[in-house]
A and B are shown apart, each in its own frame.
Chain A
Amino acid sequence: MARAVTQQRKAVNTAIAWIIGLLIFFPIFWTILTSFKTEAQAIADPPLWFSFDWTLDNYVTVQERSNYFRHFWNSVVISVGSTVIGLIIAIPAAWSMAFVPGKQTRNVLMWMLSTKMLPPVGVLVPIYLIFRNVGLLDTKLGLIIVLTLINLPIIVWMLYTYFREIPNDILEAARMDGAGLWDEIVYVLTPMAVPGIASTLLLNIILAWNEAFWTLNLTAANAAPLTAFIASYSSPEGLFYAKLSAASTMAIAPILIMGWFSQKQLVRGLTFGAVK
C-alpha cells in the first residue's frame, strides 16, 4: 500500500518536473529548431514543429556574410587566453595561501573578493580612455587583459577552496619519507590539485565566453567575440530569424556542453565556497 503511494507520488513528481524542465528549455530548443528552417518557414503561421524542409543554408549564410568563424575564434582566444593567464598568476597565490597561511591570508582573500564587487560601469570611462590612448580598443589583447583581471579573484578563490581540501598530513607523510620540495610538488600535490585546476579552468572559460559588458563596450568589427557579434543582430534587415537562430546555436552550443559538465563546480565557484 505504502509502496503504491510512493510510486504514484514519484510519477506525479516526474510529470511536473519534466513539464517545467521542458518549458524552461523550450527557448533554446526553439532556437536550435528554427536554425534549420528557411526564413519563410521560420515565421510561418501557425509555427512549424518538425514538418519542414530541414536545411543547413543558414549556417552557410551566416559564415559567408559575416565571417562567423573569425568571431568564434575571437571568443576562443579571449576566453581561453584570459583564463590561462589568470591561472598562471593565481595558482602560486592560491597555493601559498592554502599551504602557508599567514596572519593576513584571510584579509587578502576578502580584499580580492571585494574587487569583484566593483560594478564595471564604475570604471568604464577610465578603461575606455586608457584603451583608446594606448590603442587597445577593439583588440583581443585588450579584452584578454580586462577579462583576466575581472576573473582573477574568482580564480584565486576557487583554487584556494580546492587546495585547502588537500590534507596537510599527506605532505607531512611525504616529508617523513624523505621527499624534497620538488618531489612534494610533482608527485604529491600536482596529482591532487589537477582536478581543482581543471574545474576552475572550465568555469572561467564559461564566464569569459559569456561576458557581455566589456566585450560590448571595448570592441568593434575587429576583435568582437560572439557576444558582440550576436548583438549586431539587434538591428536586423529583412528576414533574419533563421540566421539569428543559426548564429545563436553556434554561439551557445560549445558552452552549453561544457556547462553541463561543470554543474557542481559552478556552485562552488560562484558562491566563493559559501555553498558546497
Chain B
Amino acid sequence: MATQHSRAAARLMISPSVILLLGWMLIPLGMTLYFSFLRYNLLMPGNNPFVGWENYAYFLTDPAFQSAIVNTLLLVGGVLLITVVGGTFLAILLDQPMWGQGIVRILVIAPFFVMPTVSALVWKNMFMNPVNGLFAYLAKALGMQPFDFLAQAPLASIIGIVSWQWLPFATLILLTAMQSLDSEQLEAAEMDGASPLARFWYITLPHLSRAITVVILIQTIFLLSIFAEILVTTNGGPGTASTNLTYLVYAESLLRFDVGTGSAGGVVAIILANIVAIFLMRMIGKNLDA
C-alpha cells in the first residue's frame, strides 16, 4: 500500500520537469519541422504556401551550406585535436608533484569561466588586431610583418580562440581521471624498466581513454553550436570563410528573415547533432548501470 502511495507521489514530483521539457522539445521542434515545408519570409507578408522539399533543396545545394559543413567539421575537429592533446599533456603535468599546484590549476582553468563574447573580443582586439594587437607588436619586435589573423585566417583564428576556452575543460576532466590512476601500477612498470613513453602508452592512455571519450563527445555537442565567437569576431566572413552551420541558420532566419530555409537548416543541424548524441547517450547510459 505504502509503496503504491509513494509511487504515485514520485510520479507527481517528476511530472513538472517532464511536462516542461516535453513541451520545450515538442512544440518548437514541431514548428521548425512545419515551417521547413513552407515558403515563409518575414519580409514578404501574405499566405505561406506549402512547398514540399523546396527549402531543403535550396539549403542543401547552397554553396554556403557546403562551406558551412566543412567549416563546422574543421572547427569541431581542430578544437578537439588541440584540447584533447593539450589537455592530456596538461593533466599528466599537473598530476606530478610540484610547488604551487593549486595556483597553477586555478590559472589553467580560468579561461573556461570567461564568457564567450568577452574572450572573442579580447582576442580579436587586444591580441589579433594587425595594428594595435600584441601579436602585431611581437611580430614587429621580431622584424616580421604583422599578420591580420581574422582577415587572412579567420577559421584558424576562431579555432584558436575556442581552443583557449575549452582547453581548461579537457584538462580538468582528464586531471580528475588521472587522480584515480593507481600510482603503484606506474611504479611497478618503472621498476620493470618500462620507458616513460611505454608507461604513457600502455598504462596512462588506456586509463584515460574513457575520460577522453567523454571529453570528445561533450565538447562536440557544444562545439557544433559555436555562435557568439563567430558573431563578434568575423560575422561569418570574409564571405563564408568562417560560417559554421549554426551561424548559417542564424543568418538565414534572423538576418535574411527566411523562416522556411532557416527552419530546414535547423532540421539538418538537429539531425547532425543527433548522430553525435546517440554515442554520448550510450556512454552515459552504461555508466548509469555501473
A:215-236 near B, CB below 8 Å: 216-217, 226-228, 230-231, 233-234, 236
Q: Give the residues in chain B near A95, CB-CB below 8 Å.
A: 13
B120-164 CB contact bits vs A (8 Å, 1 = yes)? 011111110000101001001100000000000000000000001
B166-183 CB contact bits vs A (8 Å, 1 = yes)? 011100110011000000
Complex contact B281–A274 (CB within 8 A): no
Partner of A226, one of B96, B115, B287, B288: B115
Complex contact A122–B32 (CB within 8 A): yes
Q: Give the residues in chain A near B110, CB-CB below 8 Å.
A: 24-25, 28, 256, 259-260
Partner of A120, one of B225, B232, B280: B225
Interface residues on A, range: 35 or more
Take A17-B104, A95-B13, A267-B176 as given contacts and tell me if A125 and B259 are in contact as well, using a CB distance cutoff of 8 Å: yes
Partner of A119, one of B16, B17, B124, B224: B224
B15-40 CB contact bits vs A (8 Å, 1 = yes)? 01110110011011101100100000
Segment at the B interface, from A52-60, A185-193, A244-252 = A244-252
Q: Give the residues in chain A near B125, CB-CB below 8 Å.
A: 236, 241, 244
Complex contact B245–A89 (CB within 8 A): no
Return 17 A-B CB contacts under 8 Å, by A number. A17-B101, A18-B104, A27-B122, A28-B110, A93-B13, A93-B18, A100-B10, A110-B288, A117-B280, A119-B225, A126-B32, A210-B114, A227-B115, A227-B116, A228-B117, A271-B214, A273-B288
Q: Give the residues in chain B near A180, CB-CB below 8 Å.
A: none
Complex contact A230–B115 (CB within 8 A): yes
Complex contact A121–B98 (CB within 8 A): no
Nearest 8 interchain pairs by C-beta: A126-B31, A259-B113, A92-B13, A117-B277, A123-B28, A96-B10, A212-B228, A21-B107
Partner of A121, one of B7, B112, B221, B269: B269
Is the C-beta of A67 less than 8 angstroms from some C-beta in chain B? no
Q: Give the residues in chain B near A113, CB-CB below 8 Å.
A: 281, 284
Q: Give the residues in chain A near B56, CB-CB below 8 Å.
A: none
Take A93-B13, A117-B274 as given contacts and tell me if A24 and B108 are in contact as well, using a CB distance cutoff of 8 Å: yes
Residue of A nearest to B95 (CB): A13
Is the C-beta of B189 less than 8 angstroms from some C-beta in chain A? no
Is the C-beta of A84 less than 8 angstroms from some C-beta in chain B? no
Most buried by B among A118, A122, A245, A255: A122
Complex contact B10–A13 (CB within 8 A): no
Whole-angstrom CA separation of A46 from B228 in the bound complex? 31
Q: Give the residues in chain B near A124, CB-CB below 8 Å.
A: 249-250, 253-254, 262, 266
Complex contact A263–B100 (CB within 8 A): no
Most buried by A among B122, B124, B168, B277: B122
Q: Give the residues in chain A near B210, CB-CB below 8 Å.
A: 275
Is the C-beta of B51 less than 8 angstroms from some C-beta in chain A? no
Is the C-beta of B111 less than 8 angstroms from some C-beta in chain A? yes
Nearest Cβ on chain A to B174's Cβ, whole angstroms: 9
Complex contact A27–B7 (CB within 8 A): no
Is the C-beta of B203 less than 8 angstroms from some C-beta in chain A? no
Whole-angstrom CA separation of A47 from B135 in the bound complex? 11
Interface of B, secondary structure class, is helix
Residue of A nearest to B40 (CB): A125
Complex contact A248–B232 (CB within 8 A): no
Q: Give the residues in chain A near B106, CB-CB below 8 Å.
A: 260
Complex contact A92–B115 (CB within 8 A): no
Complex contact A241–B115 (CB within 8 A): no
Q: Give the residues in chain B near A273, CB-CB below 8 Å.
A: 284, 287-288
Nearest Cβ on chain B to A168's Cβ, whole angstroms: 13
Take A24-B108, A275-B211, A276-B176 as given contacts and tell me if A34 and B98 are in contact as well, using a CB distance cutoff of 8 Å: no
Q: Give the residues in chain A near B122, CB-CB below 8 Å.
A: 27, 30-31, 244-245, 248
A:4-43 near B, CB below 8 Å: 6, 9-10, 13-14, 16-18, 20-22, 24-25, 27-28, 30-31, 34, 43
Most buried by A among B104, B246, B272, B287: B104
Partner of B259, one of A30, A34, A129: A129
Take A30-B126, A92-B13 as given contacts and tell me if A216 and B172 are in contact as well, using a CB distance cutoff of 8 Å: no
Complex contact B14–A92 (CB within 8 A): yes
Is the C-beta of A270 less than 8 angstroms from some C-beta in chain B? yes
